[in-house]
Amino acid sequence: MLKKRIFAIAATAVIVTGLNQVQAAVSWDVSVASGANARFGWTGGENNTDRFADPTVDVSGFLFDDPDNFKATPAVSSVTDFARVTIDTALALGGPAAPLDTITIQEWGTFSGDLANIGLQADFSAFRFAPLPPAVTGSLSLPNDASIFDTEEGTWYTERTLTLSELPVWNLPFTKFQLTVTNTVQVNAGAPVGTFIEKQGMRIIIPEPGTISLLAIGIIPLLRRRK
């Protein structure tokens, strides 16, 4: 089956241990590394290898629509990065905003070649600071099987939504947490010339009720524009 033929990638897990960071990182530009809007405040925006580049931020979340050569080829067979930020509804403009109960990660890009020679690993985790007690989700993977690849268009798209209040034991929305998104794209070093997989964007959605489907509509124009 096609799913079984996809080139396997070992997950590049990042362990989030509260304020302790286990990898060096590159801060986002000062204009977006921290700030606040009517929905939430954020601090400590950073990447590891800076392939994600800087996001734009609004009340719906964070949009990374201009990654820096986040592309794997037979010559550069593996490319990885993480993006990390701390989100706090108490820092929202105008005073504390409602707790956050839903986080959606959407990612998209292009590819060329046999799916047996390419692979994608996309994971995220959240470390809750408040409400107490502190807790971590662990690494949560986005779908990365054959179903996310459109072989006619040469594009891929994947997403996952986490509903925080449905997590076992916790049963509470978050007011402050650190979010880490970790990605690897990979191509078999023996693949034919012209084989590649490229990440062209990521969106971290922190919606108010009823907005996820509207935000998702914007992905298709972004894919077509980037192609």
What is the reported pLDDT for 173?
Answer: 84
Find out whether 25 and 46 touch, Cβ atoms under 8 Å: yes
pLDDT in tens, 104-130: 999 999 999 999 999 999 999 999 999
Distance CA 227, CA 220 (A): 11
Q: Which two tokens stand for residue 221?
A: 């124009």
What is the distance between the alpha carbons of residues 4 and 157, in angstroms, rounded to a whole number? Answer: 19
More confident residue, 167 or 218: 167
pLDDT of the residue at 172: 78
Does residue 4 surpass a pLDDT of 60? no
170 confidence band (pLDDT: 50, 70, 90): low
φ, ψ of residue 30 in degrees (nearest 5): -55, -25
**42 has a pLDDT exceeding 90:** yes
Q: At 50, is the pLDDT very low, low, confident or very high (cuts 50, 70, 90)?
A: very high
Among 43, 55, 9, 79, which Cα is nearest to 205's?
55
Mean pLDDT, rounded, of the chain: 84
Average pLDDT (30-37) is: 97
What's residue 163's pLDDT? 87
Domain ranges of the chain: 2-8+22-226
66-80, 95-109, 153-167, 175-189: the lowest-pLDDT one: 153-167
